[in-house]
A and B are shown apart, each in its own frame.
Chain A
Amino acid sequence: MTPIFNESNEAIQELPAELQEALKCYDNSRTDSDLDAVIFAVLKDLGPNSISAEISDETNFIKDLGLDSLAITEFVFFFEDVFRIRITNEELSEMNSLGELKAFLKGKLS
């Protein structure tokens, strides 16, 4: 499988160290737990400052994290870039919680 962490990929350059590290780990292992770490690092990078490790699979993006639909499209744009996938509007409308996002990405990347 094509490595995700490619230094020449402009979408990856300049990312915070934690996120770069998570992407490298996921590249090597391709495990679900390392994918979870990537998702958490992305939320931390693009989400509200208050985000913490406390969030669970039940955490709702809009109700619990205070994100708006525009912020969610930013996550999606980012995931499309780094994982080289496409996420349709229909798929997007079914991803309301962290657990649903994780399950969707796992399915898409398997």
Chain B
Amino acid sequence: MSSRTVVTGLGFITCIGNDQAEVLDSLRGLKSGIREEVFLGNPNLTVKAVGKPLDFEVDSANWRKWKVPQDYFIDSSLKRSLSPHGIYAVCALEQALGDAGLSKEELKDGETGLYCASAGSPLLLHENLTVLRKAKGERGNPLGVLCSIAGTLNFNLGSWLGIRGTNCGFVSACTSGSHAIGYGWDDIALGRQKRAIVIGAEDATAESLLPFSAMRALSTNSDVKRASRPFDRDRDGFVGAGGATVVILEEEGFARRRGAKIYAEVAGWAQVNDGYHRASPHPEGEGLAETMRKALKAAGICPDEIDHICAHATSTPAGDKAESHAIGEVFKGCLDDISVSSPKGLTGHSLSMAGVLELAICCLMLERGFSLGNANLENVDPVCEHLRLPRKSEETVLTWILNNSSGFGGINVCNVLKRYEHR
């Protein structure tokens, strides 16, 4: 395949910033976006940490109570068909289109596809089904399906933008975002589309996060800013997060002809399933190791060419251990030259959105010339000691970054990014 796929626009509505400048500041200064929350008004809950965007109030099941920053206008007819993460997505989308210098009109060209990573809205699903059950099935919110099920972003935003190309959704848990990037990349590489609008978004409400507490997967650290601590000896689970991130991919020639600013190249991707357990990763990260190898092959590079690994590491005892082992296997002999860090020490784990957010962070690292450090890493877990895990962000030129994602079911997806140089 001769065409190259580049990133031309980014939009962030996240706990570490609601625009690119704020996000960059948080990444360089390792400023945590995690805050304390009393979920469901219950102070007895041991889970108190969350990563949610500031300046939005969209936790209510009643859209009339939602508050969105004044910079954004969302028409009421669209708003009441959206979920909380749909609101975040519209705002991140406006930002990304502005960043890419694109109007909504240009997205109607038939050359543009929409790729959304969303698990739906448990908050609104619950609300709508409660109404339905109360009326014994005789009535329900007419917009109930559109605002709550897993395709909500595709239904609403595909029509709102007037997309006439691909419109598809991804529900592979914590790899959904990376899958959306990967399949958008495929459509461009195969010549099916010239442009891919990729959205990852999550509600981050009690209804979407606390079910993970029932699995004992969430951190119960009451020192909330230090609760998400990937690779640290004292990590005790992940911190749930949400918001929305948008990445715009374009075929290089298409982007250059319109004079677009280019952040980075996405050089290839791969996916491999563990085939091991429905929730736990393979203990030695076998599937992830194979995914990394295949992704490097897809990008046409050797392990020693990678400069930085943007790890999936969510701060769970089992996950970080498995990923550390897998990285150790694939990059044996060159580990001293590769910095490894997980953004989740700052952002928490934004589930469906994580792969898109982290790819966007990789783009900033490549374009701005820095590598992200590991927030909250105080005592490296002995099982992770073979990795080079910088504590602080460092100004440095990176050429190749590997971005890892793993999810329930043992799903693994890796994307490879390269600093952009016009050939």
* Chain A residues packing against B (C-beta within 8 Å): 10, 13-15, 45-46, 48-49, 70-71, 73-74, 76-77, 80, 86
Once the chains are docked, how many angstroms separate the CA of A14 from the CA of B79? Answer: 15
Specify the main secondary structure of chain A where it touches its partner: helix
A77 to chain B: closest residue by CB? B142
B140 to chain A: closest residue by CB? A77
Once the chains are docked, how many angstroms separate the CA of A73 from the CA of B146? Answer: 13
Docked complex: B44-97 residues within 8 A CB-CB of A: 62, 64-65, 75-77, 80
Q: Tell me the smallest distance from the CB of A16 to a CB of chain B, in Å.
A: 9
A11 to chain B: closest residue by CB? B62
A49–B143 touching, CB < 8 Å: no
B105 within 8 A of A: no
Once the chains are docked, how many angstroms separate the CA of A14 from the CA of B67? Answer: 12
Once the chains are docked, how many angstroms separate the CA of A14 from the CA of B61? Answer: 12
Known interface pairs A48-B77, A71-B77. Does A14 touch B139 (Cβ–Cβ under 8 Å)? no
Q: Tell me the smallest distance from the CB of B23 to a CB of chain A, in Å.
A: 32
Q: How many A-B residue pairs have CB under 8 A?
A: 25
A78 to chain B: closest residue by CB? B142
A80–B64 touching, CB < 8 Å: no
Q: Which residues of B contact A77 (CB under 8 A)?
A: 139, 141-142
The answer, among A45, A74, A76, for a CB contact under 8 Å with B143, is A74
Chain B 123-141 interface mask (CB, 8 Å, partner A; 1/0): 0000000000000001101
Known interface pairs A48-B77, A49-B75, A71-B77. Does A14 touch B65 (Cβ–Cβ under 8 Å)? yes
B138–A86 touching, CB < 8 Å: yes
Q: Tell me the smallest distance from the CB of A69 to a CB of chain B, in Å.
A: 9
A45-B76, A77-B141 known; 20 new pairs, CB 8 Å cut-off, are: A10-B62, A13-B62, A14-B62, A14-B65, A15-B64, A46-B76, A48-B77, A49-B75, A70-B142, A70-B143, A71-B77, A73-B142, A74-B80, A74-B142, A74-B143, A76-B142, A77-B139, A77-B142, A86-B138, A86-B139
User: 4 smallest A-B Cβ distances: which pairs?
Assistant: A14-B64, A73-B142, A77-B142, A74-B142
A80–B65 touching, CB < 8 Å: no
Query: How many residues on B have C-beta within 8 angstroms of the other chain's C-beta atoms?
Result: 12
Docked complex: B102-156 residues within 8 A CB-CB of A: 138-139, 141-143
Once the chains are docked, how many angstroms separate the CA of A73 from the CA of B62? Answer: 18
Once the chains are docked, how many angstroms separate the CA of A45 from the CA of B80? Answer: 12
Q: Tell me the smallest distance from the CB of B3 to a CB of chain A, in Å.
A: 39
Can you list 20 A-B contacts with CB-CB less than 8 angstroms, sorted by A residue number? A14-B62, A14-B65, A15-B64, A45-B76, A46-B76, A46-B77, A48-B77, A49-B75, A70-B142, A70-B143, A71-B77, A73-B142, A74-B142, A74-B143, A76-B142, A77-B139, A77-B141, A80-B139, A86-B138, A86-B139
Q: Which residues of A contact B142 (CB under 8 A)?
A: 70, 73-74, 76-77
Once the chains are docked, how many angstroms separate the CA of A61 from the CA of B127? Answer: 29
Q: Which residues of B contact A86 (CB under 8 A)?
A: 138-139
Q: Which residues of B contact A49 (CB under 8 A)?
A: 75
Q: Which residues of B contact A74 (CB under 8 A)?
A: 80, 142-143
Q: Which residues of A contact B75 (CB under 8 A)?
A: 49
B66 to chain A: closest residue by CB? A14
Once the chains are docked, how many angstroms separate the CA of A45 from the CA of B142? Answer: 16
Once the chains are docked, how many angstroms separate the CA of A49 from the CA of B78? Answer: 12
Once the chains are docked, how many angstroms separate the CA of A82 from the CA of B139? Answer: 14
B63 to chain A: closest residue by CB? A14
Q: Which residues of A contact B64 (CB under 8 A)?
A: 14-15
Once the chains are docked, how many angstroms separate the CA of A71 from the CA of B75? Answer: 14
Q: Which residues of A contact B138 (CB under 8 A)?
A: 86
Q: Which residues of A contact B143 (CB under 8 A)?
A: 70, 74
Once the chains are docked, how many angstroms separate the CA of A14 from the CA of B62? Answer: 9
Once the chains are docked, how many angstroms separate the CA of A14 from the CA of B64? Answer: 6
Once the chains are docked, how many angstroms separate the CA of A48 from the CA of B139? Answer: 24
Once the chains are docked, how many angstroms separate the CA of A76 from the CA of B139? Answer: 11
Once the chains are docked, how many angstroms separate the CA of A41 from the CA of B141? Answer: 20
Once the chains are docked, how many angstroms separate the CA of A77 from the CA of B138? Answer: 12
Once the chains are docked, how many angstroms separate the CA of A77 from the CA of B144? Answer: 11
Once the chains are docked, how many angstroms separate the CA of A15 from the CA of B142? Answer: 18
Once the chains are docked, how many angstroms separate the CA of A86 from the CA of B142? Answer: 14
B65 to chain A: closest residue by CB? A14
A48 to chain B: closest residue by CB? B77
Once the chains are docked, how many angstroms separate the CA of A89 from the CA of B301? Answer: 62
Once the chains are docked, how many angstroms separate the CA of A66 from the CA of B245? Answer: 33
Q: Tell me the smallest distance from the CB of A38 to a CB of chain B, in Å.
A: 17
Q: Which residues of A contact B80 (CB under 8 A)?
A: 74
A47 to chain B: closest residue by CB? B77
Once the chains are docked, how many angstroms separate the CA of A13 from the CA of B65? Answer: 9
Q: Tell me the smallest distance from the CB of B264 to a CB of chain A, in Å.
A: 40
Once the chains are docked, how many angstroms separate the CA of A76 from the CA of B64? Answer: 18
Q: Which residues of A contact B65 (CB under 8 A)?
A: 14
